[in-house]
Copies of this chain bind each other. A is one copy, B any other.
Amino acid sequence: MVTIRDVAERAGVSRSTVSLVLNKSPLVKEETRELVLAVIKEMNYVPNNNARGLSNKTMNSLGVIIMNESQPSNSYNFDNHSGLCAYNISNGIMSGLADTDYGIITEAFCSVAEPDRLPKVIGNRRVDGAFIVGSPYAPELVANMKKTGIPFVLVGVNSYEQDADSVLADPGEGSALAIRYLVETGHKRICFLNCPTRFRSYYVRKHGVEQLVKELGVEYNPEWFLSCEHNQGASAYKTMTAFLDTGARPDAIVAANAPLALGAMRRLHELGIRVPEDVSIIPYEDSVLCGYAVPALTAINIQKEKLGQLAAKLLLERMKDPDRPYQKIVVPPYMTFRDSVLVR
């Protein structure tokens, strides 16, 4: 293995000089710099990350902590969470970090199961900073993270804490977008299929819907505002089954995410209720499930990759300046028009 010492010898300079050019110090004469660089290339020298980190007190890695209620499984059934949201955000983080040298260490973490533990990468001090991706995250985790002194940012559908940097979508605004469009296109009987009540985004959506409905002067039946037990198709199927059994016949459904929308659609399909001819449907949180659905689903895109990218930028800034005030970045949603809404 070739070390800085070998490079220095071959280049006929001291090790410090090589180190200086490695770290782009302006103290090195241009001529020397070029010579050293040439030798580095010629010898195929790669600085040892451990040695560098030991001096620098830096790990040169960032953690991506994926929060979830359960481990991902090999069963892709309807009664499982799709896991797509965290995946998309995490892709965004990686793309936002692509031109840095950070290693990105991913870890699944279940804060519900172990509320007082820290993710391994944090406990082991393997990272210089971290992203807490998605909900549910226990508030204790944020407190515990702060104690470690490792900078972090929260990123997700509705990831927000007072004393932390956060990048989030706006579920209220997203729901409003969907409802406004449905009203514009002539829908009169809109049903809302929300996530479990244990998620904070449940309330944000509910609030957004109630607000808008008042503003629009649309009639609103609280009994048509449903929630599902889990964020998965089977729960939505169950909820929708019970709802339709009451004889209710919405002409549009707004769902809190794609798994819920597809769960509802399964029941509609069984009953011979057609999408979009009989009922339009718009999920929040566009994903590959929407683009590939038959028919393709018009959906609210919350820019998950962008959430990730902005989180990446934010964490980098936070690490540079630990004392700056906390930021809260809200990324606006937009609608992707596909085939699940009938213009009446």
Contact = CB atoms under 8 A, between A and B. Distances in A.
A78 B305 contact: no
Contacts of A124: 46, 49, 101
B259 A292 contact: yes
A50 B54 contact: yes
A15 to B, nearest CB: 16
Contacts of A288: 76, 80, 82-84, 289
B54 A59 contact: no
B54 A51 contact: yes
A72 B291 contact: no
A184 to B, nearest CB: 23
Per DSSP, are chain A's interface residues mostly helix, strand or loop, or mixed?
Answer: mixed
Interface residues of A, number: 66
A132 B82 CA distance: 24
Interface stretch (A103-111, A133-141, A156-164, A321-329): A103-111
Interface in A116-165: 120-121, 123-126
A299 B304 CA distance: 29
Contacts of A306: 74
A294 B267 CA distance: 9
A193 interface: no
A231 to B, nearest CB: 12
Nearest to A60: B126
Most buried by B among A74, A80, A84: A74
Interface stretch (A87-95, A170-178, A248-256): A87-95
A106 B104 contact: yes
A80 B289 CA distance: 12
A292 B82 contact: yes
Contact of A292 (B54, B95, B233, B336): B233
A296 B266 contact: yes
A121 B49 CA distance: 11
